Structure formats: structure tokens, C-alpha cells
Amino acid sequence: MLGRTIGWIGIALAGISSLQGSVPQSSSSPSRHGAQYRAVLNRYCVTCHNEKLRTGELILTKEKIDIGKVSEGAPVWEKVARKLRTRTMPPAGMPRPDEATYDAFAAYLETELDRAAAARPNPGRPVLHRLNRAEYTNAMRDLLDLEIDPEAFLPPDASSGFGFDNMGDVLTLSPLLMERYLSTAKKISLLAIGDPATPPVVATYMIPENFEQQDRVSEDLPFGSRGGIAIRHYFPLDAEYVARIRLQRIGSGLYAGQVIGMEEQKQLEVRMDGARIKLFSVGGEKTDEDVEVRFLAKAGMRLLGVAFLKDTLKQEGALRRRSSSSEGGVGWVAIEGPYRATGVGDTPSRRRIFICRPGGRAEEEPCAKRIISALARRAYRRPVSDGDARRLLALYRSGAMEGGFETGIGRALQGILISPEFLFRFERDPANAAPGTANRISDLELASRLSFFLWSSVPDDELLDLAAEGKLSETPVLEQQVQRMLRDPRSEALAGNFAGQWLHVRNLYLLSPPDPAVFPSFTANLRDAFRQEIDLFFKDLMQEDRSIFDLLSADYTFLNERLARHYGVPDVLGSHFRRVTLRDEQRWGLLGKGAILTVTSYATRTSPTLRGKWVLENILGTPPPPPPPNIPSLKEDKKTRKLSMRERMEQHRTNPACATCHRAMDPLGFALENFDAIGRWRTASADNTPLDVSGELPNGARFSGPAELRKALLSQREQFAATFTEKLLTYALGRGVEYYDMPAVRKILRDAAPSGHRWSSIVLGIAKSVPFQMRRSPEL
């Protein structure tokens, strides 16, 4: 810490509130206003070593901070401005100024900071960024028209301390990962082009044990079916393949391995791209038999469906349900092949790659150069240099000598996919850039930033053409391209990747699931429905260009029958998701979503602390500091189990080290206690104790229950808008937002306000911002 700790800002604010006439309402004369604030601070400043005057991790030092020279202490004054806006300063128990005083002081600081930033912008300097797994997968789709299973090729990427897996600081390249990229490049080039010598392999698709199979489980399976699985599988050649189907069996215990629910004979159907290829009779006397079918398949991505035919002609969802175990189901499906291949086929990837065909030996290399140049331009996100072309043509020649024209193209494609120019997003400083100065990135670099922000993928030809012509950075062109990119289906990546990580709903598949002994109704189907609800909700808000405040206030969501039954919403039948208006306002917006309520709970119970922390971090933008070391967890003995959750948390807060943070987190979490650990509505705890769901925000606003909490949060919509914008800017930049980015955040919000903070206005504001369009050159 700097020098002697001075706990003066809280007392100063109390003094300001008594001097309303001296508080400046604008910054037209910063030196005069600074002098007024300095006089107030000097009058009310006292030396204090009392820990109660520490607000979070912010400790102000009188000798080092000058209120009249705000720009010189920007890192500290940005923290002060945030605490003023969020009303978390002065600390609890200190006198608090009125709203006008808070706003005036914050406005003064922000205006001074913004003025300094405009005079000398600091866009930051992002570190070298490797393509993460999602970006690599999408690049294969857009570069080669090839759909791949990312988990089969590359390991997952770590998330940084900022909550996203596209942060440059974690996207390093270890020797082991480099080996994976080398092997992946070879496999993908063979898949994309086709290799007649491809050996048979086995791909197994498992169905979770807790997956319900008594109804139609996928929109890719036919009506009148139940259970089973829909598999999108890439068939490498025109050839024969074998599908082996194992029936669902008991996993453990005395009857481990016994087939479930097949006492009576049932019909099991196998379809390829919607056409039936086999109908089996299973069960009855053949209870323990698995089945297999051999079939012909054309090369490319195909849909293989395996499902039981229902025993009735009644409409889907109209039957009284029985347990999945009484019905039986499919345990796994294995696809083997290719066998007896007849050719590489006419796949979308081959059509994308082979934009020309040589008519003879003399035409092979010119055609190869054309193909390689087109692939490299899209992969490298820039025009191909003569050096690039020479290196790739050398690879082509070596491959062509061994196996002919297509082998040569495959060898060059491998070279493209392992090139640093593809795997990394290089940005280069201008040759004449002075050390430590802000410089605009090139149009080609801007194209890459835009495409990886909005599509998590490489730029398309339209974007690259405009960038190569130097037109992309022109404001009208940039605005038109952002709108076009948001309308494109590829922008679903923004909804899925950003929302999934910002809201922590990816953790549905990473954390320990709810305990089946406590929550037997939680199944894999419900987990998948939770995630799909969030994805569809976000995608709808973005495609309809709605206000970001609808994230909290929207009175609709997307449900299928399983999820509607969980929420207690009537008259929703079938496995397909559809938009449903919610009559119960307790379910409106993000606070009523089962995915969020589940990932902020423990396996056996709710957690007001986790839920309150989630609201502070992701809605209010005021995350609590990390807990001190050696803090005991909530007691779980016989005595404490008799207490209500509120009583147990109050007992926990008697520890002074816990009290400060829990005082802010717990009331927010208590308001959500009407939702149990898997998001079901309740009015009492498990032991029938009535729930107390009252609480208050740091600014003193009181509420009771989810609906009132939502209204209280919407009363601070500027705070939510700032939090959302900071999170989205973090995702867009691939680095954490720093104090020097806050002037840009405020400008984005000011520019978005006339539109009601619509999605497109926030995205466009980021695309036009200083940190997105510029970078700082290195210091000497």
C-alpha cells in the first residue's frame, strides 16, 4: 500500500453532503471544482487506522492523491468513481450523502478522467492470441465447410480470471499442445479432401444413465418415437459402415449388466438422414442381445437416428408418463468403418477446396497455386505474400511427387493449418510508431477482431475484401458490416460463447451435478433443456435487437414440455422448444432461469452466498474480494441442520472476517430462496419452515422475493448496463478491462442510451471504441 493509510473518502462525502451549495454540477472549470473538492476533503480528512474505513481493497493515501489532478491518479480515481456510482462508499455505518452529492462527485471524477483519456488515449496492448478450441472449430467450418467434433481433436481451453476462454493470457502454446495441432492438421486435411486408404475406426456415442427415454428426445428424431439418440457423424468415404447398438443396462449392484425394461418386445428403428435403414424387434425372449446393422453411406456429415417406436398412436406428450427405467432405452451406439470404400465422394469440403480442376499435367501447378492462395488468404486473414506462396507450393510439390495432385493439395493444407499465421492472431505495430503511443490497427487486423468477436471465426470474403481495400475502418462501412454480421447465423457464437461463460451456465457440464438422492427429478434431459433455454433466450434478444435490460425483465422464455413441467408452466407439449409467455413474474428474466439457479447452488442445497455473489459480479459489477485464508465453511452438523438457511448464515456471519462480504452477498441470495437447488419454485424449505426472502441492496433499497429483487436491480439499470458492457468488451478484446478502458465504456453507454441500450448499439459502440480500434506500441 502507498504510504500511510488514510480513511478519508467516506468522511469527505459526509462533509460534501452538508455543503450542497459548493458541490460543482459540471466540469466546465476543472481547476475551480478540484479546489472545491480539495477543500472539502481537507476539512473532513482524518488519519485513521480503523479497518472499518477500508472499502473492499481500496485504501486512499493522502500524500499520493490530489483531487485537483484527477488524471494523475486515474487508477485510484476510477475505483472511487465506481464505488460512488454503486453506493458502496462510504463503508457501512458511516454517514451517507444524498443522491445529488453522490452523482455530482462521480460526474466530476468521470468527466476529468474522460477528458484526460481523449487527450491521450491508452488502448492497451493485447498479448498474442492463439485461436481457442471454439474458434478453431468454427474456422474449419468457414474455411473448409467441414464440421468437426472439437472434443475429438483438441483439449479444452482454460478460462482466465476474467471468466472467458478467449483471453490471450491463457491461450499459450505448450509443446504438448503443438503436437496436438500437428496431428489435428493431418487428420483434418484427410477428412476434408478424402483419403481412399482411410482405415476403419470406431466412434462410440454414449447416452447418460440418467437420460429419460420415455418420450421423443430430439427434434432430429421422428414423431411417434421415444428415447434413443440423434448422431451427427462424419463419414470419411463413400463406403459401408456398421452401427452397433447396445441397449440400456443396469450400471451397478446385484443386477449390473442386466438390460432394462425389455420384458416385452419393442421396435427399434435406425434411420440415416431421415430414411429408415433397419427396423429391429428387441426385447422379449432376446432380452440380452445387442443389435447391429451394416449400411452404405455417402461421404460427409450425416444424421444417424436410433429410436424406439412408441407402443401407441396417441400424440406425443399425451400419455401418462412412466419412469424411464420401466420403458428401457439405448445405452450407446458405435459406428465402425469405412469398409469396401468406393471413393472419396462429393462432399461440401471438397467443393469448397477444389475451386479448379487441372485438365492436364501442365495445368496442375497453376491450379494448385490458385487453390492454395484462396485457402491461405482466408486462413491467414490477409493477402498472401510471395513468401507464403513459395513455402506452400514447396509443400504441394513434395506431396504431389508422392501421391499426385490431391495429395499435394492435402500437404499444403496441412502446412496452412499448422502455420502460426493461422493459429495466432498477429497484430503488428506501425514501423514509425513512437514508443508507448496509441496507434490504429490496420483494416485487416480490424476485420479479424470483428470476426472473432461476433462469429468466433475467421473473416469472410466480404469482410476481407473491404479490409484489403482500406474501407472497413470508414464509419458507415463499419456500421453496415457490424449489422450484417449480427444478422448472420454465425453470430449465434456470440450468444453461445459469451452468454455461456458470462452467466456461468457452462458449469452445468463441469460441476458436480445435483445429488440424485436429494433431487431425483434432475436428469440429463433437464440439464440440456436448461442450457438450450439460455441459448435460445440470448439468441432471440440479440436477433430481435432488444434492449439489454430485457435480460432482466423479459416476460417470456423458451420451453419444451420437460422444462415447462419443471417450471410449473401448463399446456406445453412435446420435445421441441417454443417461445412461451410467462404469467408468473417470479420467472421473468435471468433470475428465473433454471441453469443459473442450479450452477449457483450446491449438490444438495441452495447457496444464498453463491447466488448473491453471482448477482454482485454479473449484474451489479461489484464483485466481493476473495475470502481471507482459513475461513471455515458453513457448518453441516446435526445442530445446524435444524436451523433455517438464514439462521445458519447469520451464525456464519458472527465471524468478523466473514461479516463484511456476506453482508453484501447474502441478502441478494436470500431473495432467490424461493427457488430450490435445481430451480423449482417453493414457499418453504425441505423441513416445511416458511422462507424469509427479504433483503436489501447496498444502497438501502429493500425487496422480498425474486420479482422485487429484479425491480430493485432495474432501478439501477445504469449499473447493470455498465457491467454488461464491461463483460462484453472483455470478451471482444480478449483481455481484461482496465482502469484506462473505463472512458471508452462510458462513451459506449452514452452513445447507446438514445436507442434504449439495444444489443446492436452496444456491439457497435465496442467496434468503434478506442481499445477495439487501437493498440499501444511497446515502451522502450
pLDDT for 755 equals 96
pLDDT for 331 equals 94
* pTM for the structure as a whole: 0.90
Contact 385, 419 (CB under 8 A): no
Encoded amino acid at 469, one letter: E
What value, to the nearest 5°, has the Cα angle with vertex 723 and ends 722 and 726?
85
3-state class (DSSP) for residue 275: strand
Separation CA 765–CA 774 (nearest Å): 14
Phi first, then psi: give them for residue 398, nearest 5 degrees.
-65, -40
Decide: residue 366, CB within 10 A, 0-12 exposed, 13-18 middle, 19+ buried: exposed
Residues 6+ apart with CB under 8 A from 175: none
Residues 6+ apart with CB under 8 A from 256: 249, 250
Question: What cell numbers appear for 621 in the block?
Answer: 459489477
3-state class (DSSP) for residue 247: strand
- pLDDT higher than 90, residue 2: no
User: Which of residues 242 and 70 earns the better pLDDT score?
Assistant: 242
What would the pLDDT profile of 642-698 be if each residue is shown by its tens digit? 666 666 666 556 566 555 666 778 899 999 999 999 999 999 887 788 899 998 887
- What is the average pLDDT score of the chain? 87
What would the pLDDT profile of 495-523 be if each residue is shown by its tens digit? 999 999 999 999 999 888 999 999 999 99
- pLDDT higher than 70, residue 316: no
Question: What cell numbers appear for 374 in the block?
Answer: 484462396
Helix/strand/coil percent split, the chain, to 5: 45, 15, 40
State percent of the chain over pLDDT 90: 67
- pLDDT higher than 50, residue 777: yes
Left, alpha or beta for 94 (phi > 0: left; psi -120 to 50: alpha)?
A: beta
Contact 131, 424 (CB under 8 A): yes
| Length of the chain in terms of residues written | 780
Give the residue among 274, 62, 105, 305 at the shortest CA–CA distance from 205: 305
User: C-alpha dihedral over 443, 444, 449, 455, to 10 degrees?
Assistant: 120
- pLDDT higher than 80, residue 568: yes
DSSP string for residues in 332-357: EEEEEEEEEEEE----HHHHHH-S--
User: C-alpha dihedral over 650, 653, 659, 665, to 10 degrees?
Assistant: -50
Q: Per-residue pLDDT averaged across 96-109, rounded?
A: 86
User: Which of residues 232 and 29 earns the better pLDDT score?
Assistant: 232
Give the residue among 194, 210, 319 at the shortest CA–CA distance from 573: 319
Please state, as a whole number, how many other Cβ atoms lie within 10 Å of the Cβ of residue 17. Answer: 19
Residues 6+ apart with CB under 8 A from 359: none
Contact 136, 57 (CB under 8 A): no
Please state, as a whole number, how many other Cβ atoms lie within 10 Å of the Cβ of residue 379. Answer: 21
Separation CA 727–CA 163 (nearest Å): 9
Q: Per-residue pLDDT averaged across 385-413, rounded?
A: 97
Contact 606, 673 (CB under 8 A): yes
Contact 659, 546 (CB under 8 A): no
- pLDDT higher than 60, residue 314: no
Separation CA 199–CA 191 (nearest Å): 12
* C-alpha to C-alpha distances, 113 to 27, 292, 467, 744, 762, nearest whole angstrom: 11, 70, 33, 11, 21
State percent of the chain over pLDDT 70: 84
Separation CA 396–CA 410 (nearest Å): 8
Encoded amino acid at 398, one letter: S
What would the pLDDT profile of 724-752 be if each residue is shown by its tens digit? 999 999 999 999 999 999 999 999 999 99
CA 569 to chain centroid? 27
Question: What cell numbers appear for 11 in the block?
Answer: 468522511
Separation CA 184–CA 721 (nearest Å): 41
Q: Per-residue pLDDT averaged across 459-479, rounded?
A: 97
pLDDT for 263 equals 79
Question: What cell numbers appear for 711 in the block?
Answer: 425491480
Query: For the ranges 34-48, 470-484, 692-706, which has the lowest average pLDDT?
Result: 34-48
- pLDDT higher than 80, residue 83: yes
The residue written with cell numbers 429493500 in the block is 702
Encoded amino acid at 234, one letter: Y
Give the residue among 548, 482, 494 at the shortest CA–CA distance from 757: 548
Separation CA 94–CA 459 (nearest Å): 54
Give the residue among 537, 531, 577 at the shortest CA–CA distance from 555: 537
Contact 235, 241 (CB under 8 A): yes
3-state class (DSSP) for residue 203: strand
What would the pLDDT profile of 217-259 be if each residue is shown by its tens digit? 999 999 999 999 999 999 999 999 999 999 998 776 666 677 8
